[in-house]
Amino acid sequence: MQGKGLSRIAIILVEPIYSGNVGAVARIMNNFCITDLRIVGSVPEKNDFYLAMHSEHILEQASLYPKLEDAVAGLDRVIAFSRRLGKNKPIDLTPRQMARYVHSIPKAKIGIVFGRETYGLTDTEADLCPLRCHIPANPEFPSLNLAQAVALATWEIYSLPFDEETGLAKNYYAADGIELDRIRHYMLDVMNATGFIKDYENTNWDMFLAKLLAQLNPNKNMLYRLRQMFNRFHVLVTGKGLGYVSKPGDEKRE
């Protein structure tokens, strides 16, 4: 059934300016079976939500958050849409690749983030989104209207239905967001303890590992091997192993 499982997708708008855009986004989400609308900031005051025709329930149920950090809490993967290209703003996915990525992890809660109509996301906000998606367009005029960008992204997801009987997803377990955070912090702990990370570092290793893990999409066996590998590095340099927190509230154990 097309649209099955898309309730796990959250569309996140960061400080939208025009209520017409928000209304249009709600209607588009309804078109493509997505209902979780999250807004950072507040809903624009001007009451012209006519574009949300027959989709008012999505607006009424929209969740409001003071910061993007709060809006993405609890999500397993976060993907930001951006029109900007550059050495410090690498693009990880095209819209079609993004759709395939989403369908390859059918149990993951995924946030699709869209920045302000005026200047997009701040650097701090972009850092909260390990993966970045770019819609190819006229390089002399690459900026799409907010609602149009949401339409393109959600159509790509909807038009590439997950087939439970074929492909990677059939027997594939993808680590959730909490598990990715644990292994990332573990890897950083080892890197710090072994002297790999220097005081004069220009590389943000936390961001690098977050992006690496999101692209890798590890399963349980991969997580185990990463933990094993980094623990051995720790043993080789310090002479002892480093415990690992496997569940919330657990203490590190050898």
Which domains are seen in the chain, by residue range?
Answer: 6-169 (3.40.1280.10), 173-238 (1.10.8)
- Residue 72 has what pLDDT? 97
- Residue 50 has what pLDDT? 58
Alpha helix positions (H), 41-109: 56-60, 68-71, 95-104
Query: Which tokens sit at 233?
Result: 């590095």
DSSP state of 3: T
Model confidence pLDDT, tens digit, residues 39-57 = 999 888 755 565 666 778 8
Amino acid at 250: D
- Residue 162 has what pLDDT? 56
- Residue 18 has what pLDDT? 85
- Residue 164 has what pLDDT? 45
- Residue 139 has what pLDDT? 85
- Residue 55 has what pLDDT? 75
Residues of the chain with pLDDT under 50: 1, 164-170, 248-249, 251-254
- Residue 201 has what pLDDT? 81
Q: How far apart are CA 26 and CA 29, in angstroms?
A: 5
- Residue 157 has what pLDDT? 94
